[in-house]
Structure 1
Amino acid sequence: MKLENKVAIVTGVSKGIGLATVKMLLERGCKVAGWGRTSPDLSDDNFHFYKTDVRNIEEVNKAYEATVQDLGENIAILVNNAGLGYEGGIENLDPALWRQMFETNVDGIFYCSRLVIPNMKSNDEGHIINISSIAGNTGIPNMSAYCATKHAVTGLSHSMYKELRNFGIKVTCIYPGSVKTNFFDKIDSVEVNDGMMMPEDIASTIIHCLETQANYHHVDIEVRPLKPKR
């Protein structure tokens, strides 16, 4: 896909992978709608921020309506990046945190994707990128709820790509290992360090997927730091 003048929606844009992705899309001439709970420190004529909690379907619907009004309905790219995780053993995790993770990490992808698909089908072009985690491929002690959400993202992504591929729509699921972001602020067992990947690394992978020719489709991409610090 040629990115110049394409309209993209990116969720979870306040910082980290989302913000890095927005910046790279803007550099390539995209018009970007950023959906998130907090506005990023970013000013660009082609960037439009819409305050949105992807857990709330009404907020998502309103953000979509505003995006279409401002940027048009031909949205070619959706990056489902919004996500969060909490640490806790299966027997003592607060059920409210369980629900929050599923509502954000899984429901949010459904709420956002369902809105952009009809016009992508009409245009025979579109790319939906779901940001999962290596937790979507394996179990991690004391992260069972988070792993469950990311395994759900894997199943959702695979089903989506098989449903949509014949309509010219790509669905790619990316599974990062540790990335140096604020994700780990609430994960006491992990200390953020320079051995982790950077948000720009993941953003560059997203851009690579988007820029491939129409009949070339990345389904799953797992990325990890080469020499992680222990």
Structure 2
Amino acid sequence: MLKDQVAIVTGASRGIGREITEQFAKENVKLAVVGSSEQIHTVAKELQESGVEHVISVQADVSIEEDVQQMVEKTIAAYGKIDILVNNAGVGFFKPTEEVTAAEWKHIFDVNVQGVFLSSKAVLPTMKSQKFGTIITISSDVARYTIPNASAYVATKYAVQGFCGSLAQEVREYGIRVGTINPGMVDTYFADSTQGLPEKEDWLKVEDIAKSVVYMASAPKHMLIDEIKIHPFAQQYPIA
């Protein structure tokens, strides 16, 4: 169902984003992999070496409008269209509010919120002209409830949830679908952690999130999946 669709995946250098590219490749999706460091070019090379025929890499900071515009322009130049945008790029940290600096607050909002806004906005003209498109944002379960020592991160996820909900209503008349995937604890590099630690054995895996992205993107055109919220059995969380 996704064969020959074109997908932009941000934050694709490692973790969830890298796995999303792998799962899309299995579905014969044409890829534009995006990351803020030169590592993203290595990702594209590795995908090509594994047999992926259609993949380009774009080094871009999603919080900078010029970078995002370049990301879109390069994708259209390579493939002529954009069917899917996966807003995966994000940052996070845990600390008491009184210890959060103004610079840290600005940075997390620049990446987590402005990055989603700029990237989504940039693909809309193309998707509107096509009368089709799917925008998927990797958010968090804390877009639906709060936890201590994460006020900045939680605030960004509430903002993203509100933005995506409003955008979904705004663009549905153009055949564009907007949804969020809100995972609980995932074994990844979040908050400068290390993937594969023994204490994360029972957490969600990056494949779980990536397969959820494929599922959401694969929905038939008459179907909109607004949100997928998933948790590992090991996680206790408020019902919201």
TM-score, normalised relative to structure 1: 0.93
The Cα shift of 1:50 comes to 0.5
| 1:49 alignment counterpart | 57
Q: Deviations over 1:66-117 (max 9, x none)?
A: 2221222x20000000001011211121111111110000000111111111
Query: Partners of 1:55 and 1:156 in 2: how far apart?
Result: 16
- Whether 2:67 is the aligned partner of 1:59: answer yes
**Matching of residue 141 in structure 1 with residue 141 in structure 2:** no
| Aligned residues of 2:7 and 2:32 also touching (Cα < 8 A) | yes
Distance in 1 (alpha carbons) for counterparts of 2:130 and 2:71: 21
Q: Distance in 2 between matches of 1:115 and 1:139?
A: 30
Residue number in structure 1 paired with 2:90: 83
For 1:198 and 1:53, the matched residues in 2 are separated by: 26
SS at match of 1:9: strand
* Alignment size in residue pairs: 225
Q: In 2, distance between residues paired with 1:63 and 1:78?
A: 11
State whether residues 86 and 97 of structure 1, in contact with CA within 8 Å, keep that contact through their aligned partners in structure 2. Answer: no
* Separation in structure 1 between the aligned mates of residue 29 and residue 215 of structure 2, nearest angstrom: 14
The answer on whether the counterparts of 1:10 and 1:35 sit within 8 Å (CA) in structure 2 is yes
What is the percentage of aligned positions where both structures have the same residue? 36
Gaps (5+ residues) in structure 2?
Answer: none
SS for the counterpart of 2:134 is strand
Q: Deviations over 1:28-84 (max 9, x none)?
A: 111100111231542323121110111111111122222221222x20000000001
Letter in 1 for 2:141: I
- The answer to whether the 8 A contact 1:5-1:29 is kept is yes
Q: Deviations over 1:108-139 (max 9, x none)?
A: 01111111111211211110001110111111
The alpha-carbon distance between structure 1 residues 52 and 148, as it changes in their structure 2 partners (threshold 3 A), is: same
Pairing of 1:41-190 with structure 2 (within 5 A): 41=43, 42-44=46-48, 45-72=53-80, 74-185=81-192
Asked whether the equivalents of residues 129 and 174 of structure 1 are also in contact (C-alpha less than 8 Å), the reply is: yes
Summarize the Cα distance change of 1:132–1:63 in structure 2 as closer, same or farther, 3 Å threshold: same
Letter in 2 for 1:14: S
Distance 1:78 1:13 in 2: 12
Structure 1 counterpart of 2:35 = 36
Q: Secondary structure at the match of 1:22?
A: helix
Tell me, yes or no, if the aligned pair for 2:12 and 2:21 is still in contact at 8 Å.
yes
Q: Is the 8 A contact 2:68 2:122 kept in 1?
A: no
Aligned to 1:11: 10
Say if 1:184 and 1:192, in contact at 8 Å, map to a contact too: no
Q: Which has the higher helix share?
A: 2
Shift of 1:228: 3.9
Whether contact under 8 Å (1:176, 1:222) holds in the other structure is yes
1:213 corresponds to 2:213:
no
Hey, what's the Cα distance between the residues in 1 that align with 2:209 and 2:183? Answer: 7
Q: Considering only aligned residues, what root-mean-square deviation do their CA atoms show, in Å?
A: 1.8
Structure 1: distance between partners of 2:104 and 2:61: 16
User: 1:186 offset after TM fit, Å?
Assistant: 5.4
| Cα contact 1:180–1:192 (8 A) shared by 2 | no
